[in-house]
A = this chain, B = another copy of it.
């Protein structure tokens, strides 16, 4: 009920004219437009975005695939993106992949079937660009925070290498030598760059790679908890922990509290990222903060630009954003 035709019938005009009147077409008699608008309102006419999209071959919808919404990292990105898209008249379809490659791919496929105009993707898998062919063109993709192995897409990333190096150097400067690194799956680009940054800083300080102190896992509180227990059991016990993600940090703190290990007296702690609660943690955490808002903004602008330019094949652009070391109270020189 109440389609364009119904409105047309009511005012005794053709559907074409009603369409023009309603969509602000210039060559419509203003009196006609008035009648149409009024009739539309009275009939409770609500345009069918599907039919429109089918006709004009564009949905004004962008897909966003993120691994986890509890992570401030992604929550912030989603918020910024949604705001930016709204300003440009795009809708957002959100998919939560749980960092599962199978989910990841299946979401990519359904987004393609829904003919989204573009996709912002925090990848959990390497993707076959072919999957993105739909409706005769390839859907533009911007990768956010992580990038997939083959660097075939635009990407908006943080400078994980420098961030991890900065955090590690800070600990080294305080005198720490045995620094445990807790991190996520080695398959993620973020994890790899952070571990590389950590190693590079150790190397600068003339220390070996210390690879037995790098604990891989998943970016979850449980994992942070268990890894911390494992670290505490090592002899000699490390004097500092580097937590590579905020959900890990949660578990780290819980394990530390359970074991009654005081921070920073007995153990120093640094963490990647800076969710709201790091600053009110006791003690407040030394961390590496990222310009998430700016990154989200740029990702949105990038995907919108790609959508606008159409299928013009332009080589992918990779942007890296520097973060900033924030020294708070969770780090101190190691005890003699």
Seen from chain A, the residues whose Cβ lies within 8 Å of a Cβ on chain B are 1-2, 44, 46-51, 53-54, 59, 69-70, 72, 75-76, 78-79, 82-83, 91-96, 109-110, 112-115, 130, 133-136, 221, 250, 253-254, 257, 276-277, 279-282
Q: Could you show 18 A-B contacts with beta carbons less than 8 Å apart?
A: A2-B136, A44-B130, A46-B109, A47-B113, A48-B54, A48-B115, A49-B110, A49-B114, A50-B53, A50-B115, A69-B75, A69-B78, A70-B76, A78-B96, A91-B110, A254-B279, A277-B281, A281-B281
In the assembled complex, the Cα of A44 lies from the Cα of B136 at a distance in Å of 10
Most chain B CB within 10 A, of A75, A82, A115, is at A75
Assuming the contacts A72-B70, A93-B93, A94-B92, asked whether A46 and B112 have C-beta atoms less than 8 A apart, the reply is yes
In the assembled complex, the Cα of A196 lies from the Cα of B300 at a distance in Å of 43
In the assembled complex, the Cα of A78 lies from the Cα of B74 at a distance in Å of 13
Q: Contact check: which of B50, B113, B135, B281 meets A282 at CB < 8 Å?
A: B281
A72 contacts across to B, CB distance below 8 A: 70
A250 contacts across to B, CB distance below 8 A: 276-277, 280
Across the A-B interface, give the 10 residue pairs with the lowest CB-CB distance, nearest first: A282-B282, A94-B94, A1-B136, A49-B113, A253-B280, A49-B114, A46-B134, A277-B277, A69-B75, A50-B54
A92 contacts across to B, CB distance below 8 A: 93-95
A59 contacts across to B, CB distance below 8 A: 50
A2 contacts across to B, CB distance below 8 A: 133, 136
Which residue of chain B is the closest to A109 with respect to CB atoms? B46
Which residue of chain B is the closest to A92 with respect to CB atoms? B94
In the assembled complex, the Cα of A114 lies from the Cα of B52 at a distance in Å of 10
In the assembled complex, the Cα of A112 lies from the Cα of B95 at a distance in Å of 20
A136 contacts across to B, CB distance below 8 A: 1-2
Assuming the contacts A46-B113, A46-B134, A49-B113, asked whether A94 and B82 have C-beta atoms less than 8 A apart, the reply is yes
- A15–chain B nearest beta-carbon distance, Å: 16
In the assembled complex, the Cα of A78 lies from the Cα of B76 at a distance in Å of 15
In the assembled complex, the Cα of A78 lies from the Cα of B64 at a distance in Å of 14
A113 contacts across to B, CB distance below 8 A: 46-49
In the assembled complex, the Cα of A282 lies from the Cα of B282 at a distance in Å of 6
A79 contacts across to B, CB distance below 8 A: 69-70, 96
